[in-house]
Structure 1
Amino acid sequence: MALGLRHHPGRHLATSRRLRRSLAHGRTRSKPVIQSTNIERSDVPTQTGDGDPRPVILRAENVSVSYQSASGSRVDAVREVSLDIREGEFVSIIGPSGCGKSTLLRAFGGLTRTSGGSVLLQGDPVTRPKPDKIGFVFQDYTLFPWRSVLANTVMGLQFRGVDRREREATARRYLELVGLDWCADSFPAELSGGMQQRVAIARALTTDPAVLLMDEPFGALDEQTRTLLGGELAGIVEKTGKTVLLVTHSLAEAVFLSDRILVMSARPGCIKEIVQVPAERPRTEEFLTSALFDEIRAKVFASLIEEVHRQAQANEESRRAAQRG
């Protein structure tokens, strides 16, 4: 991985070794659990599993999202999604392009208004962004190029009016957690893409959100860097105990990181299947080559590819209709 102009190799390697050691004790069990649902129904399974004592932190109740297209027609992006996410859980959303994954994530975070149903965070309705309780990490790093790494990382705390000394101390702790405390005075242009995304993750964590929403955070990175950051993210989540909802197109990423994987249908998107990953977190790199990993990945792929074909067919029918019109 290219590491930018102010590279500190010894420190970075030591951090990588620490993060890998934090993934050192994962164990796997036998078979994935598949919860199948009829995609026409709204009463999809909403629990993480029988006997799970963790409280529900984020809930969707029959959430639908519709909007008007540029041509004036109604577009149903998400239809009647119901879901419970428990405290400390890592849940991934996967589905065909255009199925409403990011729209659903934005609705969870209060960035997109729902057309029906409701989203609840710790029992309270989410109708607008809650930066003190919901953190976001997007594919675009959204770092300000004229601000240093430290100055970018403190922004959430600065907006909340936290004292400068306190916010900088907090930011430095999270930069250390992501292995970038040594480049706090660097600027984004001096960092690789992977390093910039680490800064974005540190910035999201500084406000201590109850839930972290991540929309394809590693989508713009090369495969090797993506795999490395996935392992580091797993370690960070274990250390902080955060609840994470991740949108991804990567089957391997979803299986490696998640407690559950939500497979969404073609548009209008709803939850087609919920796949549980019965392997303790954090997971080692060896899990990526295990039989259980291959089995779960194959199950998710089989469910996903059906929806990819359905979406492609729908897109082609729309194209033909537009030509006839």
Structure 2
Amino acid sequence: MKIGFSSYSFSDKMLTGEMSIVDVIEWIGKSDGEHLELATVSFSPKGTDTAWNFDDDPDLIETIRSAAATNGVELSGMCMPADFIGDAADRVAQIERVKQHIRLSDSLGIRYLRHDVTPWARKIRDVVEFEEKFAIIVDASAEIARFAAQYDIQTSIENHGFFMNGSEHVRRLIAAVREPNFKTTLDVGNFLCVDEDPLIATRANLPEASFVHLKDFYIRSYDSFPGEGWLTTSGGNYLRGSIVGFGDMDMRGILSSVVTSGYDGYVSIEFEGKEDCLFACETGLTNATRILEELRSPIS
């Protein structure tokens, strides 16, 4: 496994201008992180997630390419929002937008691209709506996967947000798309958004994982409102991002399952908490590395 960071972990400092992407890459180059995954929402103006295109700013692309080479930081993957359940014209535009990011990924030497299929905040009204939208999502994802195969790029769906989340939904989509280069970016914490046990869900989806996001959450039950600044899950529980190893998730059990599964790809730490992101990333990486070393070298 190669453990590194998603650029999303540094979003707060990047969006305020406190850190540039060059600063982030330089920081990773000096850390023990082994790669950087580019999340386009780290760069896009707020509220433009499914409209902003990376190649709208060619200078930014060249800056990333140059800084990564200079600092010896491998660019491992790209994550981008997308929405396939609008009207037909919007869907065609969204599919073409994802294809353009596949071309961009290829030019940067990136072989993994995760795209969403609905906006993050979209929720399922009822099972009828989900079934109506499912076939549309399958067709769009399959078209993109076939296009990406020309570039030897693996596409994936993440258990992200509220609509296409949950281990069964993810596995069902992969089975329906039936393209060998379409898998899942397995986010070990996001299952909590739909109130699924992250350890059990991680184990269920590991056989389909092409990329792993490692994060941790503080978890509070529906009957104990913790105050402002917490995410409300589908079932009414509360989440707040934490440093990896500081939260309420069974991080040792999750990492043990990853090791046992034989997964040997990229792992990105994706920090979403309130602490300083540099401290959080450094500490989270240290915690994850320590746990993995202990799992691989058990005390006799």
TM-score (norm 2): 0.36
Give 1 or 2 for the bigger CA radius of gyration. Answer: 1
Give the structure with the larger helix fraction: 2
Q: Which of 1 and 2 has higher RCO (CA within 8 Å, sep 6+)? A: 1
